Amino acid sequence: MEHIKKRTFQIISIGQRGDFASKAFDIFIALTIFANIGAMLLETFEGFREYTSVLKAVEWVTVAIFTLEYILRIWTADILYRKLSPLKARLRFLVSFDGVIDLLTILPFVYLSGFIVFRILRVARIFHLFRINTGSDSFAVIVSVIIEKKNQIFSSIFIIIVLMIASSLGIYGAEHEAQPEAFNNAFSGMWWSISALLTVGYGDIYPITAVGRIMGMVIALLGVGVVAIPTGIISAGFVERYTREQNKEKRFIDIKEMGEVLVDDKSGLAGMLISDIERDHGARIYMLLRDEEMIIARAELKVKNGDILILHSDKLKKW
């Protein structure tokens, strides 16, 4: 029974390379999620009213699959949380983000009147398929960049909030007498300030006085820069992360291509200059060991039998 549980856990977890069953389950769950979301979307179209029974059947089947998966995840929770007892592990899963999302995608189908708003949370289930435990995972990169730049992002959000409040108060003072219904208090200008700062400008509320219009132009211009601040911060974070990953990968490649070469009769290097060896073999010699001494490799230095060359080359296997 324990073997069956472990295998079940492996299958319902994110698929690993070589595990066909787990990969197939991921694809099956993805198709189930898309089928469920598609059925919900098609129910809103008048042209598909005649297929309501079919769409309801699709929803029934997909929710049944979600429920079965939810039960299996509860059953295998003690494998996910190995350090906890089976009961505590299951409770831990129930209150975890994944457990709560999974539950809220099932409840709306059972209690439509009370949980209909949570039906949209079924879309969030698709994120289960992308939680791969590797450092290069795209979602992990996004989260790490946001965490790394959280102070700068919070600062930019604070600036946006301050400008939003200031513009709301300013537009109220400029437009209240001219449009008492549209700007009856400071908070009523909040909608206008948000749409202006985010450069959306729906046009349902707009200034009509000269001062209000000037203020609107200034706030709209400020909004372009304000919105660009967090975007630039996150973009810079991605560039920094990519550069670090590239440098890290390059360092590892360098280490793999570093090696030692013994100068003997077989190598045919004895009596050659460092510069000649580097030119003929496409290598970069950094130093050599001679009689337990470490000597910096100079271009005019001649190697002898018994020397050990410390070098970098992508042709180490040919030496």
The predicted model gives 268-285 an average pLDDT of: 84
Instruction: List the chain domain ranges.
Output: 2-132, 150-252, 258-318
pLDDT tens profile 55-109: 889 988 988 998 898 899 999 998 888 888 889 999 998 998 778 878 877 776 6
**Do the first three CATH levels of 2-132 and 150-252 match, i.e. the same topology?**
no
Torsions phi, psi of 4, nearest 5? -65, -40
pTM for the full predicted model: 0.52
Q: Which residue has the higher pLDDT, 315 or 220?
A: 220
Show Cβ contacts of residue 77 under 8 Å, excluding neighbours closer than 6 positions. 86, 89, 90, 92, 93
| pLDDT at position 134 | 42
Percent of the chain with pLDDT over 70: 80
What is the DSSP track for 10-64?
HHHSPPPTT-HHHHHHHHHHHHHHHHHHHHHHHTT-GGGGGGHHHHHHHHHHHHH
d(CA 128, CA 112): 24
pLDDT band at residue 233 under the 50/70/90 scheme = confident
pLDDT tens profile 184-204: 877 777 787 877 777 666 667
| pLDDT at position 135 | 41
Displacement of CA 198 from its chain's centroid (Å): 24
pLDDT band at residue 319 under the 50/70/90 scheme = low
d(CA 87, CA 100): 17
Percent of the chain with pLDDT over 90: 4
Domain 150-252: CATH architecture, name and number where available: Orthogonal Bundle (1.10)
CATH domain 258-318 topology: Alpha-Beta Plaits (3.30.70)
Sign of the Cα pseudo-torsion (262, 267, 269, 274, in order): negative
CATH domain 2-132 topology: Four Helix Bundle (Hemerythrin (Met), subunit A) (1.20.120)
